[in-house]
Amino acid sequence: MMAAYTTQRIWLTGATSGIGRALAERLLDQGHRVALSARRPEALADLAGDRDNALPLPLDVTDRQTVLAAGRRLEARFGGLDLVILNAGTCEYLDARHFDVELVERVFAPNVFGVLYGIEAALPLLRRARAEGGRPLLAATSSASAYLALPRAEAYGASKAALSHFLESLRLDLAGEGIDVSIIHPGFVKTPLTDRNDFPMPMRVSVEQAAEAILAGLTAHRLDIHFPRRFTLLLKLLGVLPPGVRYRLGRRLARDPNSTPREARS
């Protein structure tokens, strides 16, 4: 739970579905001033309801100019930002038999560049909060798939690994400014996106469990917020095994090349 003794100024993207909606509802219930971003204005209006601490801020995270304009609106409304949670993203699985670079681009657009545009817009406001004496936090949702290469995850896993690497590097450069960076690495969470998956999802958790784990990690300014821990620790362990061992394990997970995979998309 976020600290109850102070009201924070928060920007949350991907706010109307899955993990984002669960986070939005909790943060609003706790009394924080929350700017809510997603693509559908009607869904944002439904989420905000009549709450005076909710600021619907519709945008497409892949449109850099729109995201920068949202940053200017946030500056006018909030002044600074104490917490930014860049949560919007998508997933599509690649069928290597029909190599599709456009699919890869569609996944990288929100998962990598959408987050970078959000960072570009938010950093001046995080710096303002720091100048006011706060301890601002930048967080973004990666994935446990960043820990280990898996079959069909060429686009999704690579986008999340790129995001995690970028944020780890950025964390080092922002530390001297007093701006913290948390990376969120969920395992499987039951959302409309994962409901489309056509493979087993071990240890899948609810969005409520995910929100609880994320908020606990954000309160502690934890560097790596990962859950469910039995699953994510296993992936971390597998990720440091020798390449030959990882290859043999990964081959066991790969599907029959004659099957026709179904894609998960947002």
Burial of 32 (0-12, 13-18, 19+ CB in 10 A): buried
Within 8 A by CB and 6+ apart from 95, the residues are: 152, 261
- Separation of alpha carbons 208 and 22, rounded Å: 6
- Separation of alpha carbons 238 and 146, rounded Å: 12
CB 138 within 8 A of CB 163: no
- Token pair 């706790």 in the structure block, residue: 30
What are the helix (H) ranges across the chain?
18-29, 41-48, 64-78, 101-108, 115-131, 154-174, 207-219, 229-239, 243-253
Burial of 4 (0-12, 13-18, 19+ CB in 10 A): exposed
- Separation of alpha carbons 172 and 155, rounded Å: 26
- Separation of alpha carbons 29 and 26, rounded Å: 5
Active-site residue identified among 93, 117, 156, 247: 156
Of 60, 57, 87, 51, nearest to 71 by C-alpha is 57
Please say if 156 is a catalytic residue. yes
Which residues belong to the active site? Answer: 156
